Structure 1
């Protein structure tokens, strides 16, 4: 037994010594023992110990680097992102036209919105503001806090006529964007939070069609029965059944805290966000 304990202690000390001889890059989802080669405005470049191949990770995804000397370099959160705890904080969603501002963050999916002026005289910027608001609401319901615009089409009001009949087309704005989250949900923390429970009761339901600028929120007692939880490409998904959504067998976890978690799904162009009591 003494020999076994000695060997185990020697192994742990050896591992600790080896780790101390390399740098460690901490991302939002992992810890990478490596040799940091270069830090550029967009990337952290590194090699694994004993290798020459250069790997890269976006700086947006890096929280800190602990160098083998013991020095730490902390990377500030993206200046372009804010915390969106739930769908009611949609105003904190950031919209960007710069692709490099979303590099390294978790992609949640695509969202689109369209807004029209109430009359021919509606200002284009007011219509665009409404389209952006709808995009922010949709992103918040998905659990996102950052939207990269991939398509932006706007038309000003116009009119024409013939044979004494006059036609008009109102001002219109159409936006499509990719929704991102700067935070990755931890499946182990979520499992620990809910314990061994497999049945949950909703306290609030919300839906949004993208053709209005307001979310429909109402009390709810829908029951969610959980069969399994899985994580794939950073997305946390519950497989199970939900009252009122019988054809859906999987629901993505948009966010969670000590008391509640929110699930998200879409059906026929409508986004749903259900608040479940833990």
Structure 2
């Protein structure tokens, strides 16, 4: 009886081990919107990609222009297109628009005047200007602005010197300031460079 029970336990144990199926790695197609499609890539041509679902034999086609990348089961990644856009929330500094045209601010509310200088680690005038614009955008985001109107641009630094850039702008927002709140006037003092 004991041998029979042991025999059946061994059969049951071995049967359960054989019944487990290993998860087969699959290829992954990442569409431009970020949607991932687990599949088996059959063919990559100049205009389309043929693939099938992991458990089906029916082949499907998708245009290359709709795909960001394919991650193959071997780990290799083939990039086809860069993502169209990344989602930026309204309050982030990256969403602040910069303009020189006063018409772009029509219908918006004045939130204040801000100033910014470029960081001293820039190697070119273009990088210095971009550094100052980013600082303006961050200040404008803190004030609840959506657009910056540049009013003053001043380039510093002679040939061979470290380039610098000073900017002054007016911040505009879609909402009026709360009652009892004054328009901000940025009075940050610039430290003289030695």
Range class of TM-score, shorter chain: 0.3 to 0.5
TM-score, with structure 2 as normaliser = 0.46
1 or 2, which has the higher strand percentage? Answer: 1
TM-score, with structure 1 as normaliser = 0.33
Which one scores higher on RCO, CA 8 angstroms, separation ≥ 6?
A: 2
